[in-house]
Amino acid sequence: MQEAQYDFLHGQTDRSDFFSPAMQQLCGIMKDNQVALPSDIGEGYFRYISPCPNIEMYICDVMFYRDTVLREQVYKDSFSVIFSLSDALEWKASGRNKKTMLEKGDCCVYGSGLFDAENIYEAGQRYIGVGLNLHPCRFRSVMDGLQKKKACTAFSGGKTPPKHRITATIEATIRQILQCNYNDCAKSLYQEGKILELVAAFANEMMDQNSVAVKGSLSWADSETLLRVRRQIDEGFLEPVTIAELSKQHFMCESKLREIFRKHYGITIYQYMLNRRMEHACELLSVPDAQVKDIAGLVGYSNISHFSDAFRKKFGCTPSEYKRSLPF
């Protein structure tokens, strides 16, 4: 893969990705700014949010036209939480061959120290990631708790960090932050509150004694099969497909597919399909004039009550309550 250097990202030799403090320089003095990729190299944006001191969030939603590597090199006194919302996020320590990959719905935590990484982007692939910095002067108790639970690792150590699944509560909070349409001081207040809510939800999940890291014991062949199955569901979740059909299409017996999918992703195939429909419903609800009854039909429900029940189980509120919470 060819390494690319872009002046719009960084003025020095090193490339800086969306988890770096250099993004704050890129975005200027504004507390919430978004920078689009130049149209000749890709699509999408990098975004930096800092509604108040010691609270920082980095967001990217990008697709490059050719294979690209962006390098980040910085010493951090904060912990970095990384959430993957796309098929995969991939990086490796500079000068090393071993890669770390977060699949969709995974998150991980790096402790403070030297962060020298090469973030890898394949041509034509969409990458959506959210980074959250936990500064010690504001989140010392959270950082101490993560260390005690061994939920994080130092990047400089070269070890693969423990991976955890993003819960429905965390996912819903991230979506609300991304969809905020408030202006000026109201926007900063909303973002600060929601980011603190996100930190609290994440800390609560990590401190839970029943919190389980994503298992990594699958063979390469089984991992590739699971990735293909999940991508098929992601791309066609509105079209009915049975687990028996999936097993035939991907040459794996039905019982094994059910078992390894549940063990690897923490939920059943059916629940994953349902979650994708509910996520799509969230996107549709963000349209100001959209009606709940119409959205129910669009995601495959003829009965609004059944749709509301499924949505409540996923996000803890009804579609109507969720829509009212959005800052239109």
pLDDT in tens, 27-73: 444 478 889 999 999 999 999 998 888 889 999 999 999 999 988 88
Mean pLDDT of the region 303-312: 90
Beta-carbon contacts of 8 under 8 Å, excluding residues fewer than 6 positions away, are 26, 35, 38
Contact between 313 and 278 under an 8 Å Cβ cutoff? The reply is no
**For residues 243 and 255, what is the distance between their CA atoms, to the nearest angstrom?**
9
**For residues 28 and 82, what is the distance between their CA atoms, to the nearest angstrom?**
23
Q: In DSSP terms, which residues pair with 54 in a beta bridge?
A: none
**For residues 18 and 146, what is the distance between their CA atoms, to the nearest angstrom?**
23
* Summary count for the chain: helices (H), strands (E): 11, 11
The pLDDT of residue 9: 40
Q: In DSSP terms, which residues pair with 165 in a beta bridge?
A: 106
Work out the pLDDT band at 130, boundaries 50, 70, 90: very high
DSSP helix/strand/coil, 117: strand
Longest Cα–Cα distance of the chain, Å, equals: 57
DSSP state of 167: P
Mean pLDDT (the chain, rounded): 80
Work out the pLDDT band at 26, boundaries 50, 70, 90: very low
The pLDDT of residue 123: 93
Place of tokens 């919302």: 85
The pLDDT of residue 44: 93
> What is the residue type of 147?
Q
Contact between 229 and 241 under an 8 Å Cβ cutoff? The reply is no
